[in-house]
């Protein structure tokens, strides 16, 4: 398999979920070996997609520049989830403010933008990170972990003391087609009683029924209801896929979580990289079908 970028430049404009300000986002193709690079176009600062640039995981994953403390970009996880699902290795993401547009609170708008851009294969082999030993992090009863497997899968459980959520569990074996059908449309969610607090600390200023599932004490406030029966836990998988993008390449392994969070995901990424619990492999499709996603190892090195 070869490295990927997008075939043409595309852009959109939307509101940031937490800051509530308009943001213009432009996606640009990049050559092989460039990686994914965020850019604050209003400040002229690049922020590479690297775990050392994760500066906050409160309610969202936020990146920051080492050289310019003003250069922050928040709520990157939904876009990164879609980029990861499309197997894009090289991309520049320009934004003129400090947050990725929230759109409808899911990743489907980002998928549509990538569909509009198209995928371009580059003349360089595509590396995969194959997990070689189980790594996990815990916080009380909460945990996230990743284990060796022959494919990429997500097994997530949540338990909220709310009648509309309660206990939910979802297992997802990755393919791009399955991602778009089962995961990408799942929206972020929040509790009405927390809104005033979040806004007091500068968050959720752009949140509305158009970009978030809102829950009061009794149920779901959104008149249209849910898109999936397990939309809450499916969105947690969407987030996890975006957070795992900080591993730096497409992953082959089994992710499992109970009440996982951006914070725990960031810790997991750091632990995988520090413990060298992986090998880099180059894979080739066993079949051409995109839905099949069956892979055959060519060679590997630690």
Mark the binding-site residues for Zn(2+), compressed into ranges. Answer: 78, 235, 239
262 carries an active-site annotation: yes
Q: Is the Cβ–Cβ distance between 145 and 256 less than 8 Å?
A: yes
The two three-digit tokens of residue 230, written as one number:
């397990």
Which residue ranges make up the annotated binding site?
Answer: 78, 235, 239
Q: Which of 66, 169, 262, 302 is catalytic?
A: 262
Q: Are 259 and 101 in contact (CB under 8 A)?
A: no
- Positions marked active-site: 262
């Amino acid at each position: 398999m070869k490295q990927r970028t997008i075939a043409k430049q595309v852009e959109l404009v939307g509101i940031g979920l937490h800051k509530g300000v308009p943001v213009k986002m432009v996606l640009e193709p990049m050559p092989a070996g460039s990686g994914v690079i965020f850019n604050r176009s209003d400040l002229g600062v690049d922020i590479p997609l690297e775990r050392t640039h994760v500066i906050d995981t409160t309610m969202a994953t936020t990146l920051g520049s080492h050289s310019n403390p003003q250069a922050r970009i928040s709520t990157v996880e939904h876009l990164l989830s879609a980029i990861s699902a499309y197997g894009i290795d090289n991309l520049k993401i320009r934004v003129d403010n400090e947050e990725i547009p929230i759109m409808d609170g899911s990743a489907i708008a980002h998928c549509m933008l990538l569909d509009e851009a198209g995928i371009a294969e580059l003349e360089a082999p595509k590396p995969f990170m194959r997990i070689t030993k189980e790594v996990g992090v815990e916080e009380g009863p909460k945990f996230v972990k990743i284990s060796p497997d022959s494919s990429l899968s997500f097994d997530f459980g949540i338990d909220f003391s709310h009648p509309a959520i309660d206990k939910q569990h979802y297992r997802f074996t990755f393919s791009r087609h399955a991602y778009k059908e089962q995961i990408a449309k799942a929206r972020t969610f929040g509790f009405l009683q927390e809104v005033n607090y979040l806004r007091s600390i500068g968050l959720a200023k752009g949140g509305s029924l158009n970009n978030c599932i809102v829950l009061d004490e009794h149920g779901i406030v959104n008149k249209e209801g849910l898109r999936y029966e397990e939309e809450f836990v499916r969105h947690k998988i969407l987030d996890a896929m975006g957070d795992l993008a900080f591993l730096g390449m497409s992953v082959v392994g089994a992710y499992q979580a109970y009440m996982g969070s951006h914070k725990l995901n960031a810790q997991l990424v750091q632990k995988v990289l520090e413990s060298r619990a992986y090998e880099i492999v180059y894979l080739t499709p066993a079949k051409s079908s995109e839905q099949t996603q069956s892979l055959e190892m060519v060679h590997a090195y630690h």
